[in-house]
């Protein structure tokens, strides 16, 4: 898929939007309509190295699982996520959130998504509907993100690490 950029204006300061997006566990809240069943890949979900696994709901997709991790983190303007999806995780993905100050306490958010399918069958599936569905899903996600941040409400529960508590200070008694 050729790089596709989606823009959204959010009436919240850039630092607030960046902090929200920098915590990958929050992605489950505003992307749950097309990226579901989020699981974090490590305990620290904020910043560089944070990662998550999810199931992507796309047309003609039998192998919807994918993952992404933060590979570039430049506060307060850039978050880049690299990942893989599709059958045997052979399709490389790149997702970049570019934030800029729009003045008067607002933020311009530009989301660039790009995929690199390997086989002709993967390219065909993307061409007959997955690209449009992915772009439509991200557009709706950014609208939901803007509405949630502007009204100061949570859109749902953030993702957690599968398997339950891992730290000794969780209140469990032995």
pLDDT per residue as tens digits for the range 118-165: 888 767 766 776 677 788 888 999 999 999 999 887 777 677 676 655
Whole-model pTM: value is 0.84
DSSP 53: E
- For residue 172, the model assigns a pLDDT of 47
Mean pLDDT of the chain: 84
- Pick 174 or 95 by higher pLDDT: 95
Structural domains in the chain, CATH included, are 4-162 (3.30.530.20)
* Residue 9: pLDDT over 50: yes
d(CA 47, CA 70): 7
Place of tokens 């069958």: 121
| DSSP letter assigned to residue 162 | T
pLDDT of residue 112 exceeding 80 = yes
Is 88 within 8 Å of 74 (Cβ atoms)? no
**CA distances to 51, 116, 141 from 7, in Å:** 24, 22, 11
């Amino acid at each position: 898929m050729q790089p596709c950029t989606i823009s959204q204006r959010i009436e919240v300061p850039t630092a607030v939007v960046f902090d929200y997006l920098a915590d990958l566990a929050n992605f489950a809240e505003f992307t749950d309509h097309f990226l579901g069943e989020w699981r974090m890949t490590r305990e620290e979900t904020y910043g560089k190295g944070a990662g998550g696994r999810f199931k992507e709901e796309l047309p003609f997709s039998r192998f919807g699982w994918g993952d992404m991790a933060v590979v570039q983190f430049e506060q307060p303007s850039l978050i880049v996520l690299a990942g893989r999806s599709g059958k045997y995780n052979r399709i490389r993905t790149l997702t970049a959130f570019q934030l800029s100050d729009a003045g008067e306490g607002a933020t311009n958010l530009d989301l660039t998504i790009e995929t690199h399918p390997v086989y002709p069958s993967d390219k065909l599936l993307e061409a007959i509907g997955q690209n449009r569905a992915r772009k439509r899903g991200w557009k709706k996600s950014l609208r939901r993100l803007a509405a949630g941040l502007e009204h100061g409400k949570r859109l749902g529960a953030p993702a957690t690490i599968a398997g339950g508590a891992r730290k000794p200070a969780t209140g469990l008694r032995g």
